[in-house]
Amino acid sequence: MEVLKRYSIIALLGSACLFSSCEEEFEVKVEDTSPKIFLQGMVSPFLNSPVYAYKAVPVGVARSDAQDFTVRDLSLKINGTEVGIVEEEGGKGWRSELDYNEGDELEFTISTMETGEATAVTTIPRMLGFSADSTLVEGNVIYTIRFDETLDEDSKFAVAVILADDEYLRVSSRPLSKPGEDETLLGALTPDFRLVSLPFGFGYEAFEGALFNGKELGKEKTLSLSVPYYEPEDSSQKLKLLVYTLSEELYGYLNAEYNKNNNVLSMLGLAPSNFAYSNVDGGYGVLGGYSLRIWTK
């Protein structure tokens, strides 16, 4: 018993040292204090979403420097041809006058009076072919997705299940898990899927989805997932399976967001290293493309 008490005290002291914090003030020195443009755009044939631009300044620079910017030049090219742009009402966002198509290559360029030029390029991927089925088992809906030969090791995609009405006015996501596995504390800390927030696809709604690449599925090219089921309050609401095919750029951004929020340090409540991703030349942020197919039984 004395030995047990000794080890308990040692464990408590170790925990106290681990979670105790020491505070030290230091000055952040940044060599380049010039403002940069931050771009965020996730475009698709499914939804002609705008590309947003913001002015970003380094830590330690006066807040007033980040207030606003004046556009000097702006262009959007689809497959090398410049197209018309429509400005979003009340915000620094722009969308194409033309609809996007799968396979389109986009190049967005902006320069302002306060910053240099920033350019981002992405390609809207062609939708992966698949078939799907679902069954109700012990209060859970089991989805089985079988991809065809369009999926290879380099394919990038995401999957989500939402409850939505016919007009997508009310949307809520459903938690994903592997079929037949009970939720445990260890499972919560090490999820079966790389769960990420998908901030695109249905206006300004964001919901949880799982991120994959072709290597994870192997030769079977089959994916199974489970969501809890309960009767919706409104008969117009249905479960919908969303399958996104992602560009390299959008996949890289979402994967970086997952790594930032899922590592040993963040699980302990400590400050992890910042996993940043950007495909903007001359600035920061992401311009990514995706294709979406919705399956409903």
Count of C-beta atoms within a 10 Å radius of residue 68: 10
Which structure tokens are listed for 290? 């995706």
**Closest C-alpha among 189, 187, 163, 186 to residue 177:** 187
Residue 68: predicted pLDDT: 77
Confidence at residue 190, expressed as pLDDT on a 0 to 100 scale? 47
- Residue 185: pLDDT above 70? no
Phi, psi (rounded to 5 degrees) for 204: -100, 10
Mean pLDDT of 86-113: 91
**Predicted TM-score of the model (pTM):** 0.81
DSSP, res 99: P
Beta strands in the chain (DSSP E): 36-43, 51-56, 71-78, 81-82, 85-87, 93-96, 105-112, 117-123, 130-137, 140-147, 156-164, 171-173, 194-202, 205-213, 222-228, 238-246, 280-281, 283-295
Tens of pLDDT, residues 54-91: 887 766 665 555 567 888 999 999 999 999 999 987 76
Encode pLDDT of 5-58 as tens digits. 443 444 444 444 554 455 556 555 556 667 889 999 999 998 888 999 988 776
> Percentage of the chain with pLDDT > 70?
73
Buried b (16+ CB within 10 A) or exposed e, 232-260: eeeeebebbbbbbbbbebbbbbbbbbbbe
- Once rounded to an integer, what is the mean pLDDT over residues 112-123? 93
Confidence tier at 94 by pLDDT (50, 70, 90): very high
Residue 224 has a pLDDT of 92
**Which of 6-20, 189-203, 233-247 tops mean pLDDT?**
233-247
More confident: 79 or 266: 79
Q: What is the mean pLDDT of the chain?
A: 81
* Beta bridge partners of residue 143, listed in sequence order: 134, 225
Confidence of residue 200 (pLDDT cuts 50, 70, 90): confident
How far apart are the C-alpha atoms of 202 and 138, rounded to whole Å?
A: 30
What phi, psi does 258 have (nearest 5°)? -65, -45
DSSP letters spanning 151-186? --TT-EEEEEEEEE-TTSSSEEE---B-TT----HH
The confidence score (pLDDT) of residue 144 equals: 95
Those residues with Cβ within 8 angstroms of residue 279's Cβ, 6 or more apart along the chain or in another chain:
120, 121, 122, 249, 252, 253, 286, 287, 288
Burial class (CB in 10 A: 0-12, 13-18, 19+), 108: buried
CB 178 within 8 A of CB 167: no
Per-residue confidence (pLDDT) for residue 64, from 0 to 100: 55
Task: Select, from the ranges 33-42, 146-155, 260-269, the one with the highest average predicted confidence (pLDDT).
Answer: 146-155
d(CA 208, CA 212): 13
Kindly report the CATH number that applies to the domain delimited by 36-123: 2.60.40
Q: Where are the domains of the chain?
A: 36-123, 130-246
Among residues 92, 93, 75, the alpha carbon closest in space to that of 84 is found at: 75
